Amino acid sequence: RYISIFRPSVKHEAKQNKAQWKTMGPAKVAVPSPKNFLQKHSKEPKLQERKIEQDSKKLPALSVPRRTDHPVMGIQSKKNFINTNAVAAITRLPKKPQPLYVDSRQGDKYLLETSGLVPKYLKKKDYGVTPKYLTERKEEMKKAQKEYEASVLEHLKKKAMKVLSDEERKRLLEGLKKNWEEVYREFQCLPVKIDSIPKRLHKEKLETQMKQLEHDIQTIEKHKVIYIANE
């Protein structure tokens, strides 16, 4: 069986230190006195005692007189309050009556100013004037429209397209209307009874031409600026 070589030394050290722990703690430690026993609330933190200021000068000023104060006696005023009040009443401006309005048979009265019947907004300096932010917004929109038109023109110039002038646009519109009148006159000359296939085809052809002309006329009237590609 294995036996440690340190066994004798451990036994020797245990025998040497065992005698010191036969009592409650080492022999060299002083035993506490029985007078210093633990009292109730002794470990709680203690606050400093509040100092009461007995000096009356340090107290805050009171808005009411003290109980010990006495009123000042013997003071008299030479002011004639009757005459003063009479002069003030005579020289005072008359009070204007408050504007009211009655809206029922029982005579119920209400303030006129808050009723909305007084045109006080019409008397404002800026009444009817366009706000500044609206004018700025309109100018920005016009500027953006001009920039857009300029960019479109430049783009069309690059693609070799030209703008149709007003005179050419009017002549084109007049020619389309004239063609529509001719097709419509021819359409009115058709017989009431269409009993053959060629007549029906001819009628459908005239209707298609009239619809196309009407569409072209509406497109040209709607758009003032028309671009044409150079062939």
Identify the residue with better confidence: 230 or 111: 111
- When pLDDT is averaged across residues 12-32 and rounded to a whole number, the result is 68
Q: Are strands 100-102 and 227-229 parallel, antiparallel or unpaired?
A: unpaired
DSSP helix/strand/coil, 155: helix
What is the identity of the amino acid at 200?
R
**Predicted TM-score of the model (pTM):** 0.33
- When pLDDT is averaged across residues 130-149 and rounded to a whole number, the result is 93
- Nearest-5° Cα angle at 11, 8 to 16: 125
Give the residue carrying structure tokens 């933190």: 45
Whether 72 maps to a domain, the answer reads no
Q: For 165-186, write each residue's pLDDT tens digit.
A: 888 888 888 999 999 999 999 9
Whether 126 maps to a domain, the answer reads no
Whether 191 maps to a domain, the answer reads yes
Q: Inform me whether the pLDDT recorded for 124 exceeds 90.
A: no
pLDDT of res. 180: 92
pLDDT of res. 26: 58
Under 8 Å between Cβ of 202 and 194 = no
Identify the residue with better confidence: 34 or 63: 34
Domain count along the chain: 1
DSSP helix/strand/coil, 20: helix
For residues 173 and 220, give the distance between their C-alpha atoms in angstroms, rounded to a whole number: 7
For residues 217 and 211, give the distance between their C-alpha atoms in angstroms, rounded to a whole number: 10
For residues 163 and 229, give the distance between their C-alpha atoms in angstroms, rounded to a whole number: 9
Q: Whole-number mean pLDDT of the chain?
A: 84
For residues 186 and 206, give the distance between their C-alpha atoms in angstroms, rounded to a whole number: 8
Whether 135 maps to a domain, the answer reads no
Q: Are strands 109-111 and 227-229 parallel, antiparallel or unpaired?
A: unpaired
For residues 47 and 50, give the distance between their C-alpha atoms in angstroms, rounded to a whole number: 9
CA 18 to chain centre: 85
Helices (H), the chain: 7-18, 81-91, 132-158, 166-188, 197-222
Domain that holds residue 197: 162-228
Whether 56 maps to a domain, the answer reads no
Whether 174 maps to a domain, the answer reads yes
Under 8 Å between Cβ of 190 and 205 = no
Under 8 Å between Cβ of 229 and 160 = yes
Whether 63 maps to a domain, the answer reads no
Whether 207 maps to a domain, the answer reads yes
For residues 23 and 151, give the distance between their C-alpha atoms in angstroms, rounded to a whole number: 109
- pLDDT band, very low/low/confident/very high, at 21 (cuts 50, 70, 90): low
Under 8 Å between Cβ of 180 and 214 = yes
Identify the residue with better confidence: 159 or 151: 151
For residues 3 and 186, give the distance between their C-alpha atoms in angstroms, rounded to a whole number: 137
For residues 99 and 111, give the distance between their C-alpha atoms in angstroms, rounded to a whole number: 6
